Amino acid sequence: MSTKPNYFKIGLFIIISVTLIVVAVIIWGAGLFTKEKIYFETYFDSTVTGLSPGASVELRGVKIGQVKSIDFASAIYDISTDPTEVSIYERYIRVLCSTEPGGRIRGGDITDEQKEARMRNLVYQGLRLRLASNILTGQAYLEGAFVDPNRFPVLDITWEPHYMYIPSAPGQFDTMKDSVD
């Protein structure tokens, strides 16, 4: 003989299951179990054609992060200028990037002040981010490179960046094009 289904137990099971799924989605979506990311930004005074959010950021061929967003600096920061004039800062492109602490670059067990001091030292030594392209796929990415700081000085900015600032340098293609011109 067949037994009658217990609708109360079935209903209770469905309610508990749906509640657990909703809680899991909320916790996962809020990022409670993800590592805190370290953000840094750079500015370009030239085109960033081919670069898109999600593109990798590499230092000497090792992926250290990814591009989060690309915007004009004037859309993020209050670059006060005379409304009738166009400032050179309005053409700067801001690229926001992220990396995980304690990942492939040192930064997990040091304070924010030590991170900033270390970054200033690397920038002083010539660390710059520049646009590069994968030869096979043509996909653009940001490449960290040590260049001559006298030849590629830090861009002059009049605002306080929200995150650590790593200066940019022209890509190798731009440098070759300028030498031909």
Q: Is 139 left (phi over 0), alpha (psi -120 to 50) or beta?
A: beta
Same domain, 10 and 47: no
- φ, ψ of residue 54 in degrees (nearest 5): 100, -15
The CA distance from 104 to 62, in Å, is 8
Cβ contact 172:130 at 8 Å? yes
How much is the pTM?
0.71
Instruction: For residues 100 and 73, state if they share a domain.
Output: yes
Q: What is the mean pLDDT of the chain?
A: 82
29 and 63 in a single domain? The answer is no
Task: Judge if 25 and 106 occupy the same domain.
Answer: no
Q: Would the pLDDT of 150 be above 80?
A: yes
CB-count exposure of residue 125 (10 Å: 0-12, 13-18, 19+): exposed
Number of structural domains in the chain: 2
Mean pLDDT of 120-139: 87
The reply to whether 63 and 97 lie within a common domain is: yes
22 and 59 inside one domain: no
Least confident among 19-23, 63-67, 79-83, 137-141 = 79-83
Name 65's Cβ contacts closer than 8 Å, sequence gap at least 6.
40, 56, 57, 97, 98, 99, 100
| Confidence label for 178 from pLDDT (cuts 50, 70 and 90) | low
Same domain, 6 and 84: no
Task: Identify the residue whose tokens are 């050179």.
Answer: 88
Q: Tell whether 26 and 65 lie within a shared domain.
A: no
pLDDT digits (tens, 9 = 90+) for 2-47: 677 788 889 999 999 999 999 988 887 776 666 677 889 999 988 8
Q: Are residues 56 and 43 part of one domain?
A: yes
Clarify whether residues 22 and 67 are in a common domain: no
The answer on 58 and 3 residing in a single domain is: no
Instruction: Tell me what pLDDT residue 176 has.
Output: 52
Same domain, 60 and 17: no
Q: Which domain holds residue 99?
A: 38-180
pLDDT over threshold 70, residue 159: yes
